[in-house]
Amino acid sequence: MNFRDHKPVKLDQFNGLYDRADEEDVPLDHFIDCNNIRFIGQGTFESRWGIGVHQDVAVPLSSILRMYNYPTQDKNTLLVLTVGGNLWHVVDSTTVFGPILTIPEMTDFGFAPYAGRAYITPFTTSVTGGLSREVGLDGEFLYVYLGDGTAARKAGGTTPSGSITIANGAAGFTDPGLHIFGVVFETDTGYLTPPGGLNSFTTVAGNSVSFSNIPVSPDTSVIRRHIVASRVVTSFNGDLQGYDVFFIPNATLNDNTTTSLSDISFYDQDLIDDATYLYDNFSEIAAGVNICIYHNRLCICTTFNDISTIFVSQVGEPEAISQIDGFCTMPPNGDPITNIIGLRDVLYSFKRNKTAGFIDNGDEPVFWPYSEVDAAMGAGVHSLATVIDSGTSNVDYLIVGGYTGVLLFNGRYIIPELSWKISERWTSQNLKEDFWRIQICNDSVNQRLYIVMPDRTMLYGDYQNQLDPRKIRWTPWTFDSDVNTIALINVSELLLGLDI
């Protein structure tokens, strides 16, 4: 029925918040204000879910600064940082280990899981010239946590000290001549230290070789030791580290206590497994801001002294990073690298307003080709969306929180941004100082985005209708306490880290 020549408008769809340009431009199927709702099906909505306490313990963790989903070998767990620099391992609602690491200056941390272990890098945020700036803590390191409740320790390991003693053993065989011998420690994470305890000895053809005074590590993480040797040195210049060394077959001590090993025979042609590259590796790795796994290599960026450098490990050896060629560098521009991630065989690196890529060409990382992807758009330290409870990117695209809004990235940024309908809500935030607060989780199963905003409220985006700027439905969420961090566990269960 018409009323005074007015034809009724039927609203059978509701598509969420519209906060862009003039209020008069709000479409009929959007609201200018629609706080704390969630969308049901294609066109209806109801109040957002309530919240409860995740931990069923006498004193739940509080004052949470950062939280990550940590997949161990058998379940999804959490790493939780609280005020005071205390890091906890929340195994489930009733089991909490820790603190597994305490660094009072740590207000944030980067994390990557690898083979059930957690690699952790402590950092903090400062404001310089009105812009937030994140770098690894000065004098701090990359840490590794085994997931079993024991304290996290520095990744890497110390080089054996002292000097191994070598003597002729029982009847056996070696190539006669001067050899360099040494010891390599192996830790419980598989890290191999640079060779140490070096000494020279002239072997004879009819005898094996015996070793004593084999160095023992003061680190309880060392679980075995390997004897290494050079091939015959025809002209010795006195430099014990100046010759290639190799692992001697069957010359391994599977403990950290025994100091002797007798009657080892080998020919130089048996020395195949090279250990020389270990001399170049860092024995300890400086703390950075973000960590990712790319082509089975651990990558860590933005140490205190190298803000435009990504350090890259050997394949399958996450703690073996060469000081000589185990890095790649974005051209310095005064801004630190904020984030790194692998997508479609490319290692993408981000600054606050720049995106670039490196490609693993089979050579050492220092020789990987570099290309600039975008000179104006970038990401924050937590603004690359993690997917469900895996903590990784989608296979074919990234969802990125940048200065202009929330964008799709598939090797280039897709314009307009996903947050096009709420551009004023996004740009009204204090992005310069609080860019680091943006954190995004993507529940790709239920097609939902959860975003922590710089003002510590949240944005909820529903893309059941399509991951498209005009079809995604947005609504703000607010709580009685500020939200510092979020995580998804058990595929799609949302956890909030509140400032209480």
pLDDT value at residue 108: 97
Output the pTM of the full model. 0.93
Phi, psi of 305 (to 5 degrees): -100, -5
Of the chain, the percentage scoring pLDDT greater than 90 comes to 85
Among the listed residues 54, 61, 51, 16, the one whose alpha carbon sits nearest the alpha carbon of residue 35: 16
User: Hunting for tokens 């709420």 — which residue is that?
Assistant: 422
Element (H, E) at 431: helix 431-434
Indicate whether 112 pLDDT > 70.
Answer: yes
Of 70-74, 96-100, 336-340, where does mean pLDDT reach its minimum? 70-74
Contact assessment for residue 148 and residue 170, using Cβ atoms and an 8 Å cutoff:
no
Of 41-55, 296-310, 312-326, 411-425, where does mean pLDDT reach its minimum? 41-55
Among the listed residues 359, 464, 381, the one whose alpha carbon sits nearest the alpha carbon of residue 16: 464
The overall average pLDDT reported for the chain is 93
Of the chain, the percentage scoring pLDDT greater than 70 comes to 97
Domains and CATH numbers, the chain: 64-156+283-498 (2.130.10.10), 165-280 (no CATH)
Q: How far is CA 305 from the centre of its chain?
A: 19
Element (H, E) at 65: strand 64-71
Band (42; pLDDT cuts 50, 70, 90): confident
Q: What is the Cα–Cα distance from 487 to 450, expressed in whole angstroms?
A: 9
Joined together, the tokens standing for residue 431 give: 């992005």
Indicate whether 291 pLDDT > 60.
Answer: yes
Mean pLDDT for 328-335 is: 94
Tell me the per-residue pLDDT of 68-93, one tens digit each, with 9 for 90 and over: 999 988 888 999 999 999 999 999 99
End-to-end C-alpha distance for the chain, whole angstroms? 54
Which residue would you say has higher pLDDT here, 10 or 21? 21
CA 37, 42, 43, 44 dihedral sign is negative
